[in-house]
Amino acid sequence: MSSSEIHHRHHTTKQLYRLFDLLGVFVSLLLAMGFYGIPLNAQYVLAGTAAMLFYLLISEATNIYTIEPGRAMKRRIGLVLVATFFTFIFLLVLAYVTKTTGTY
């Protein structure tokens, strides 16, 4: 296998990881809405899109998608949990800001 083939596979794998992560965030939103019986509307799609972008930024900042052979799975899971936690905090702040500004 040539060096360019390895680089291409590595790039494709990183893109697939990003896609699955973003789909995971959006599917989680849809499942939560279905669980609570909330109809899908533009505000929730916008919040889901913001959460996906924020998660992607945090993931890139913590190098989740960097594939290193010696990297421990425990460390990767920790980074995913960090990105998920910060995305959750971001959504709480977003909900608070939109709720309080909507009443004024």
Parse the chain into domains and list their residue ranges. 3-103
For the purposes of burial, counting CB atoms within 10 Å of the CB of 33, is it exposed (0-12), middle (13-18) or buried (19 or more)? Answer: middle
HEC string for 46-69: HHHHHHHHHHHHHHHHCCCCCCCC
Query: Across residues 4-8, what is the average pLDDT?
Result: 54
Predicted structure pTM score:
0.74
- Dist CA 15 CA 21 (whole Å): 10
The string of pLDDT tens digits covering residues 23-57 is 888 888 888 888 888 888 888 888 888 989 999 99
The string of pLDDT tens digits covering residues 54-73 is 999 998 898 888 766 666 77
pLDDT at 8 > cutoff 60: no
Place of tokens 């977003």: 94
- Dist CA 55 CA 28 (whole Å): 13
